[in-house]
Amino acid sequence: MLNKTKDEIENAPTPGPLFGLPLPELTALMKRLNQPAYRATQLHHALYRQRVASPDEISTLPADLRDLLKTEGYTIGLPEIVQTARSIDGTERYLIRMADGETVETVWMPDGDGGERGDGSQAAEEEEKEDQENNSIAAEQNPAAFPYRRSTICVSSQVGCAVNCQFCLTAKLGIRRNLTAGEIAGQVAAVLNRHQVALSSSRGNPTPARINLVFMGMGEPFLNYANFIAAVRLLTQMPIPESRMTVSTSGILPGILDFAKEIVRPKLAVSLNASNDQVRESIMPITRKWNIAALLEALATIPLRNREWITFEYVLLGGINDSLQHADELIALVRDMRCKINLIVWNSGPNMPFHEPPQSGVSAFQKRIMAAGIPAYIRRPRGRDIYAACGQLKRTVEQPPQLVELAPA
């Protein structure tokens, strides 16, 4: 027992940010500081439930302990929103700065983008119900007033991206570094604090905040797997259930195989974007390492839960992957899987050699898939005017200022 206590003290986290540390590490820290174990629980609650920004805000800890933490060099360490761009549709894109000065972009989408529809989750039921309401004349005449009914936060996992998808602006950055678990979860905390969102049980609360998370921002989450999955565990403590999270991968097979073994895991979306290897390799070079057949084989190892579906994301690029022949090939690939298709009309960017397909072609592609009995949805673009839509995140502060109007956070 004495050896265990000694090991715990020696393994206490070094001075630095507290946000991002799980309860066992906070417990080890309290032991090193000669504090009772329950102080770690109080600190954990302050970090992930109250989302404090400073040790001085942790009223459950005595003042001398708060001072000791600061003296020892511990900070809360939440990332900082340094710029905000607001779209005409209510979407907000944030430039978020980490402690070392690196920045990523995170997006707030009031009422989401329809990405959860058809995936079998509670979030999907909410979206589908709201779609029905929005189709009614009453909803058109009396749109939902702020505060929003729910919101989706799009989270980054890396500074830049190494996957090099040709249709994505983030690819132009290359990869700078991975984000830590605290930096990934910290984006969510910073955005929730900006909007003063209170996350709590719906018990006794007639209008609980309904927050969905999508790990679809900058970076490939499965190339930063350990930090991504650690962030998921932190986020469930905030508390956001994993059933309200979706992670998107370009098809990193080792990550998919690890993901299949997780007990606590988000829903999975796979960025497929082509119906055959030739087309996919031309727009997603990662296909040279893991082709579509290998990808589908890895996906088959995931033990899907009741009502859980895999989402295939398919960015429609005019004249490249949007023909009815491509739709037929896609049907042949996935017809035996419990899955749905999210169709994404390509979101334009500067100096990109692609164009949007015509709306008639998008509609025909969707109808072809649905006729085969496969659910297919067209994802609503959000924040296109501020470069916040899918594939547009590129730390826009580096772009010429006339592209977007940036306002102070």
Q: Per residue in 29-81, pLDDT tens? A: 999 999 999 999 999 999 999 999 999 999 999 999 999 999 999 999 999 99
Residues 249 and 293 in one domain: yes
Judged against a pLDDT cut of 80, whether residue 122 lies above it is answered with: no
Confidence check: pLDDT of 130 > 70: no
High-pLDDT (> 90) share of the chain, %: 70
Share of the chain above pLDDT 70, in %: 80
Say if residue 75 is exposed, middle or buried (CB neighbours under 10 Å; 0-12, 13-18, 19+): middle
Looking at the structure, tell me whether residues 51 and 92 fall in a common domain: no
Catalytic residue among 10, 57, 105, 125: 105
Q: Does residue 1 register a pLDDT over 60?
A: no
Q: Could you tell me if 64 and 196 lie in one domain?
A: no
The more confident residue out of 380 and 57 is 57
Residue 409 lies in a domain: no
> Whole-number mean pLDDT of the chain?
86
Q: Which of 63-67, 130-134, 168-172 has the highest mean pLDDT?
A: 63-67
Q: Which of 28, 52, 71 is the last residue of a domain?
A: 71
Whether residue 84 sits in one domain with residue 66? no
Q: Print the domain residue range for 205.
A: 80-403
Contact between 346 and 315 under an 8 Å Cβ cutoff? The reply is yes
Residues 340 and 239 grouped into a single domain? yes
For residue range 334-375, list pLDDT tens digits in order: 999 999 999 999 877 777 888 999 999 999 999 999 999 999
Q: Which of 76-80, 203-207, 220-224 has the lowest mean pLDDT?
A: 203-207
How far is it, in rounded angstroms, from Cα 116 to Cα 126? 9
Annotated active-site residue 390? The verdict is yes
Please give the residue that has the higher pLDDT: either 5 or 257.
Answer: 257
d(CA 8, CA 28): 5
- If asked whether residues 26 and 157 sit together in one domain, one would say no
Task: Tell me the pLDDT band of 385, cut-offs 50, 70 and 90.
Answer: confident
Query: The tokens of 236 are what?
Result: 């469930």
User: Among residues 140, 281, 390, 405, which one is catalytic?
Assistant: 390
pLDDT at 111: 81
β-partners of residue 97 are 80, 103
Task: Tell whether the model's pLDDT for residue 202 goes beyond 70.
Answer: no
Task: Indicate which CATH number applies to the domain containing 22.
Answer: 1.10.150.530
Are 148 and 111 in contact by the 8 Å Cβ rule? The answer is yes
CATH number of the domain to which 157 belongs: 3.20.20.70
102 catalytic per annotation:
no
Band (pLDDT 50/70/90 cuts) for residue 126 is: low
Q: Do 319 and 378 belong to one domain?
A: yes
**Residue 387 vs residues 150, 175, 181: alpha-carbon distances, Å:** 22, 20, 26
Whether pLDDT at 201 is above 90: no
Residue 408 maps to a domain: no
**Which tokens go with 97?**
């700065």
Q: Work out how many domains the chain is built from and give that number.
A: 2
Lowest mean pLDDT among 19-28, 52-61, 247-256, 380-389: 380-389
Least confident of 133-137, 188-192, 244-248: 133-137
In terms of domains, do 154 and 60 share one?
no
User: What confidence tens digit (pLDDT) does each residue in 246-280 have?
Assistant: 999 999 999 999 999 999 999 999 999 999 999 99
**One-letter-per-residue 3-state SS of the chain:** CHHHHHHHHHCCCCCCECCCCCHHHHHHHHHHCCCCCHHHHHHHHHHHCCCCCCHHHCCCCCHHHHHHHHHCCCECCCCEEEEEEECCCCCEEEEEECCCCCEEEEEEEECCCCCCCCCCCHHHHHHHHHHHHHCCHHHHHCCCCCCCCCEEEECCCEEECCCCCCCCHHHHHCEEEECCHHHHHHHHHHHHHHCCCCCCCCCCCCCCCCEEEEECCCCCHHHCHHHHHHHHHHHHCCCCCHHHEEEEECCCHHHHHHHCCCCCCCEEEEECCCCCHHHHHHHCHHHHCCCHHHHHHHHCCCCCCCCCCEEEEEEECCCCCCCHHHHHHHHHHHCCCCEEEEEEECCCCCCCCCCCCCHHHHHHHHHHHHHCCCCEEECCCCCHHHCCCCCCCCCHHHCCHHHCCCECC
* 123 vs 322, higher pLDDT: 322
* Residue 285 predicted with pLDDT over 80: yes
What pTM value is reported for the model? 0.87
| Same domain? 34 vs 92 | no
31-58 burial string, b = 16+ CB within 10 Å, else e? beeebeeebbebbbebbbeebbbebeeb
Return the higher-pLDDT residue of 135 and 195: 195
In the predicted structure, residue 207 carries a pLDDT above the cut 90: no
